[in-house]
A and B are shown apart, each in its own frame.
Chain A
């Protein structure tokens, strides 16, 4: 039995993708989802598992119709989906009334339900969110009932406010595979058994890494999984260790080079760290050569040697000022205050 596992498609979302790509991004989410449908046909997958958050918000009827159309293109594939915390089944949700094609099965109950595919000798279990948050660990008590040879749990959540998941409890659940959604970065809860597919496309600047779907094959030989990246763009977080020799221009050049090396189609967040020359200041708003930079966070501090400065200025205001922050941690607000203060004291440039 071959299946494709996707999650967190977030159709209808408008992710911040920088000046260059924010406009077309909502469309791209649909396009990639449509590609997955094609992949199902090519791979002759028998099951398409959607582990929640197909939509970013409450789906509109026209959106459901669109999705339904895309599903109708499937040639060999049965679809099982659940509602996640984003598209949870609200009182007036269309999920309640929409009639899906025959080969699409929504497990819309608040408690664990299942659908059995006798021809595949497979049962898929799952439940849907009926509220934005669920704090009970609903999956901890989930058990495979032995309705078919292959038993799969479709689950969404895994953090404090969205069905906390205990890995140990899942291990004893008796399922053959647990298709997880909600966490946007692809990762394994238990390698080869409980996997987060990650969001199909990155929808937030923190959704770094590759994004795509998982192809799985489950038979007598066991379970084989493969992650297939499909997302057109990536969010990349890059940190630059600024040296005292660097200026705004050289930082700009570095950014340009980094983007050229990794591809202009991606979306970038840069962090400047380390110590900069005392006289240099960075205007981060000008560090966006291709309009695909979301932010440049300047965490650099002027290259002061506080110990030496404190020693040199023992007894005077600078010394006492430094002492007054005695041993504050780098990165804290206190440290920032120390840097700002010393900078102001040493700049000597009166306004």
Chain B
């Protein structure tokens, strides 16, 4: 691509200014405030358009900087250029309201569309950023807090690893790392909340368990109490029973032989009487000779003894009943009350035990429900899952990025290195024949058998390495031969190196536009032309 002509209709300080360019090497010489930077900005604006900055940035952007002081609504320019044997005319309006771009081929009148990317296609796909990073060369400037060598190293590192200085590998990796960190923090927060939730449940569970233990203890006590009550009632009733027997016996022993033997003697008398009676009856009524020996009085005697036996039996029982009845009757009123009270107490204890068991079951179920909740909590929530996925994505992105970068360094870096080394050798007239890129993209040059790291080199040499890298990148990355623009780029070059640099440039199949405030570039070029 060769820029043939510029027409600054209304741009910055220029107003209706034509400017035709040499298709090979063009030097714009001028003192300060000549408008070199304006022309440079104009070329960029024509090729890539001029986007308005947003917000506060708008106050300082190029749009505002070159907005004409008079007639700001008429802010426009034209450019004619040759691309692949065809000449094109590009017209742009930059002003706020009527912004547009027209592109057509002058040879056949074909209209092209800037909006649809036709211009970009003609430019070989180079973007504004890439253009600024390769084809447009100013003096190498260091960012605040960085040395020039560091700046160069950054630049080179990005080229080696990314194939574009627009892409900042380290920056991208840092961004991803930072995002991963933020995501991890968010995950941690999720886990933390979950943990708190879990802890709450655990506390509840513990309370429940404590309550249950207490209830169980209560139940055990109550049970014991109940058992004692039941025991005491049983033993009391046993005791009463025994007491009764004891009394009977006591009475027997008390009344002794007098009346104690009464029932027993009565029984004996009854048996004896019955036997005698039977014998008498048998003698009198059967007439069996075997019974004749029994005397006659056996029958009445038997009857009398039986009667006496029955009587004595009855008398004895009556006595016993009377006796024991007396001993009970003295305490029976109180005892009955006591027995009822004991029965009530037992019932109350039973009821209490039932109540405690009921509570225990309720707690048991509540505990089960809490444990269920705990289990459910162990499954991570949607939000956490999404975060985990994002973390995974970020890790994957980093993985791919590093893999691509190292492949890049391997393939593109190698070629870039070779190309840049060659340019550097020519520019320094064989002093530095090789550029080296070591581990961690450390940059050094090879000189007389020694590796010299870029930090040790003079500013001029650093700028020349920068130049070599840019030119190499431009050659390797873009097929279209974009014009290169130097904006006061050779300030630190000595005579010799400037000459060899310009010589190298003049041998390139590429339009070169040089803005300078010194005469020496012009002189050298004329000298080269004469040769």
Q: Known contacts A312-B125, A324-B403, A337-B394: does B172 contact A60 (CB below 8 Å)?
A: no
CB-CB < 8 A to A340: which residues of B? 176, 179, 390, 393-394, 397
A256 at the interface (CB under 8 A from B): no
Q: Does A143 contact B (CB under 8 A)?
A: no
Contact of A321 among B125, B369, B372, B401 (CB under 8 A): B401
Q: Across the two chains, which residue of chain A brings its CB closest to B167?
A: A317
A321 to B406 alpha-carbon distance, docked (Å) = 11
Residue among A92, A333, A337 making CB contact with B365, cutoff 8 Å: A92
Cβ–Cβ < 8 Å partners of A317 in chain B? 161-164, 167, 169, 401, 404-405, 408
Q: B51 on the interface (CB 8 Å rule)?
A: no
Interface residue A172 (Cβ < 8 Å from any Cβ of B): no
Residue A245, interface by CB 8 Å = no
A59 to B386, CA, bound (A): 34
Give the shortest distance, in Å, between B209 (CB) and chain A (any CB). 16
Q: B461-480 CB contact bits vs A (8 Å, 1 = yes)?
A: 00000000000000001000
Most chain A CB inside 10 Å of its own CB: which residue of B172, B390, B393, B400:
B172
Interface centre among A315, A317, A347, A348 (most CB of B within 10 A): A317
Give A344 to B386 CA distance when docked, in angstroms: 20
Q: A60-B362, A320-B408 are contacts. A344–B172 as well, Cβ < 8 Å? A: yes
Q: A317's closest neighbor in chain B, by CB? A: B162
Give the docked Cα–Cα distance between A257 and B214 (Å): 55
Given the complex of chains A and B, what is the CA–CA distance between A299 and B358 in angstroms? Answer: 52
By beta carbon, the residue of chain A nearest B178 is A351
Q: Is the interface of B mostly helix, strand, loop or mixed?
A: helix
Specify which of B125, B170, B171, B394 is in contact with A348 (CB 8 Å cutoff): B171
A93 and B405 CA atoms in complex are apart in Å by 64
B392 interface residue per 8 A CB criterion? yes
B366 touches A60 (CB 8 A): yes
- State how many angstroms separate the Cβ of A296 from the closest Cβ of chain B: 10
Q: Which residues from chain A contact B173 at a C-beta distance below 8 Å?
A: 344
B397 in contact with A341 (CB, 8 Å) = yes
The answer to whether B206 has its CB under 8 Å from any CB of chain A is no
B404-438 near A? 1/0 per residue, CB < 8 Å: 11011000100000000000000000000000000
Residues of B within 8 A of A345 (CB): 167-168, 172, 401
How would residues 189 to 232 of chain A score, 1 for a CB under 8 Å from any chain B CB and 0 otherwise?
Answer: 00000000000000000000000000000000000000000000
Band of interface residues on B: 35 or more
Counting CB contacts under 8 A, is A62 at the interface? yes
Q: Within 8 Å of chain B (Cβ to Cβ): is A237? A: no
Does A295 reach chain B (CB closer than 8 Å)?
yes
Partner of A337, one of B125, B164, B396: B396
- Interface pair B176/A344, CB less than 8 Å apart: yes
What 1/0 flags go to B329-365 for Cβ under 8 Å of A? 0000000000000000000000000000010011011
Cα(A12)–Cα(B397), bound, Å:
45
Knowing A295-B382, A295-B383, A321-B401, say if A336 contacts B364 (CB, 8 Å): no
Establish whether residues B477 and A333, one from each chain, have CB atoms under 8 Å apart when the complex forms: no
Q: Contact flags (1/0) for A63-102 with B, using CB distance below 8 Å?
A: 0000000000000000000000000001011100000000
| A92-B396 contact given A312-B125, A324-B404, CB 8 Å threshold | no
Which of B162, B163, B176 is within 8 Å of A341, CB to CB? Answer: B176
Q: Does A144 have its Cβ within 8 Å of any Cβ on chain B?
A: no
Interfacial chain A residues near B389, Cβ < 8 Å: 333, 336
Q: Mark B199-212, 1 if CB is under 8 A from A, else 0.
A: 00000000000000
With CB as the reference atom, state the residue of chain B lying closest to A269. B382
CA distance A344 to B396 in the complex (A): 13
Given contacts A318-B167, A333-B392, A336-B389, A93 and B477 within 8 Å (CB-CB): no
B167 partner residues in chain A, CB cutoff 8 A = 313, 316-318, 345
Could you tell me if A318 and B174 are in contact, using CB atoms closer than 8 angstroms? no
Say how far A93's CB is from chain B's closest CB, in angstroms: 7
| Chain A residue with the shortest CB-CB distance to B164 | A316
Does A61 sit within 8 A of B, measured CB to CB? yes
Distance between A79 CB and nearest chain B CB, rounded to angstroms: 22
Q: Flag whether A300 is at the interface (Cβ < 8 A).
A: no
A311 within 8 Å of B by Cβ? yes
* B127 contacts A by Cβ under 8 Å: yes
Within 8 Å by CB of A320, from B358, B369, B407, lies: B407
A87 to chain B minimum Cβ distance, whole angstroms, is: 10
Question: In this assembly, does B491 line the interface, its C-beta being within 8 Å of a C-beta of chain A?
Answer: no
Rounded to whole Å, the gap between the CB of B266 and the closest CB of chain A is: 61
Q: Are A344 and B412 in contact (CB under 8 A)?
A: no
Q: Which of A36-67 contact B (CB under 8 A)?
A: 57-62
Q: In chain B, what residue has the closest Cβ to A345?
A: B172
Q: What chain B residues lie within 8 Å of A320 (beta carbons)?
A: 163, 404, 407-408
Q: A94-B361, A317-B162 are in contact. Are A341 and B403 (CB under 8 A)?
A: no
Question: Smallest distance from the beta carbon of A97 to chain B beta carbons, Å?
Answer: 9
Chain B min CB distance to A338 (Å): 7
Give Cα distance in the complex from A46 to B386, angstroms: 48
In the complex, A320→B403 CA distance in Å?
Answer: 10
> In this assembly, does B300 line the interface, its C-beta being within 8 Å of a C-beta of chain A?
no
Contact with B412, one of A315, A338, A351 (Cβ below 8 angstroms): A315
A336→B396 CA distance, assembly (Å): 9
**If the complex has contacts A94-B361, A313-B164, are A344 and B125 also in contact, measured as CB distance less than 8 A?**
no
- Which B residues are CB-close (under 8 A) to A347? 171-172, 175
Among candidates A58, A295, A321, residue contacting B368 with C-beta atoms closer than 8 Å: A58
Bound form: Cα–Cα A94–B125 in Å:
77
CB-CB nearest in chain B for A336: B393
Q: Which residue of B lies closest to A315 (CB)?
A: B163
Q: A103 to B184, alpha carbons, bound, how many Å?
A: 57
Pairwise interchain contact A333-B400, C-beta atoms closer than 8 A? no
Distance between B160 CB and nearest chain A CB, rounded to angstroms: 10
Q: Which residue of B lies closest to A351 (CB)?
A: B174
- In the complex the two chains form, is A334's CB within 8 Å of B396's CB? yes
A313 to B394, CA, bound (A): 21
> Bound state CA distance, A345 and B408, in angstroms?
15
Q: Assuming the A-B contacts A90-B368, A344-B172, A351-B171, are A315 and B393 also in contact, with contact meaning beta carbons closer than 8 angstroms in the complex?
A: no
Given A61-B361, A325-B400, check contact A341 B407 (CB 8 Å).
no
Which residues of B lie under 8 Å from residue A349 when comparing CB positions? 171, 175
Interface residues as binary, B143-163 with A (CB distance below 8 Å gives 1, 0 otherwise) = 000000000000000000111
5 sample A-B contacts, Cβ–Cβ < 8 Å, listed by A number: A92-B361, A319-B163, A321-B401, A337-B397, A340-B176
Q: Which residues of A contact B (CB under 8 A)?
A: 12, 57-62, 90, 92-94, 295, 297, 311-321, 324-325, 333-334, 336-341, 343-345, 347-351
Which 5 A-B residue pairs are closest in the complex by CB-CB distance? A317-B162, A316-B163, A341-B397, A336-B393, A337-B396
Add 9 more A-B contacts to A340-B176, A340-B394, A344-B172 (CB < 8 A).
Answer: A12-B369, A297-B386, A317-B405, A317-B408, A333-B393, A341-B176, A345-B172, A349-B175, A350-B170
